[in-house]
Amino acid sequence: MTAQTARTLVSFDIDGTLEVGDPPGIVTISMVRQAKSLGYLIGSCSDRPIRFQQELWARLGIGVDFTVLKHRLVDVKALFEAAAYYHIGDTEMDDTVASGAGFRFLRAEAAAHRAWGPELFVAAARHLSL
């Protein structure tokens, strides 16, 4: 499938990043669903145990492609072929882990989101003619 090579992969940190995290972050579950509806490969990369991550997504009714501990983000890159890899998180550790794994780090912070939000969603939607 040629479409697969153009896929975008988005990894979400949970605490301090997602609105359902502890503490809550700025990334809404609606945004996660939007990424999923655009055909992106999505999943979580968090210090939370895998079981916790799986139960969170099950409770939200969102089928994710991966759930990994933070230091395993590099494995996600190896497992999935995508044109672009993003990790959305709120800490310097997220930045370090993302950069080390070859992901572009997107900070879950309002001002930064104003820049990457349109890039990640609107531009992609236009590209896919959705």
Residues found near Mg ion in the complex (CB under 5 A)? 13, 15-16, 90
We find the least distance from the C-beta atom of residue 39 to Mg ion, in angstroms, to be 26
We find the least distance from the C-beta atom of residue 4 to Mg ion, in angstroms, to be 29
Closest residue by beta carbon to Mg ion: 16
Task: Output 97 or 120, the one with its CB closest to Mg ion.
Answer: 97
We find the least distance from the C-beta atom of residue 2 to Mg ion, in angstroms, to be 35
The b/e string for 113-129 (b: 16+ C-beta within 10 A; e otherwise) is beebeeebeeebeeeee
**For the chain, the helix, strand and coil percentages under 3-state DSSP, each to the nearest 5:** 50, 20, 30
CB under 8 Å to 49, separation ≥6 — which residues?
69
Task: Output 35 or 48, the one with its CB closest to Mg ion.
Answer: 48
Task: Output 1 or 111, the one with its CB closest to Mg ion.
Answer: 111
Contact 24, 18 (CB under 8 A): yes
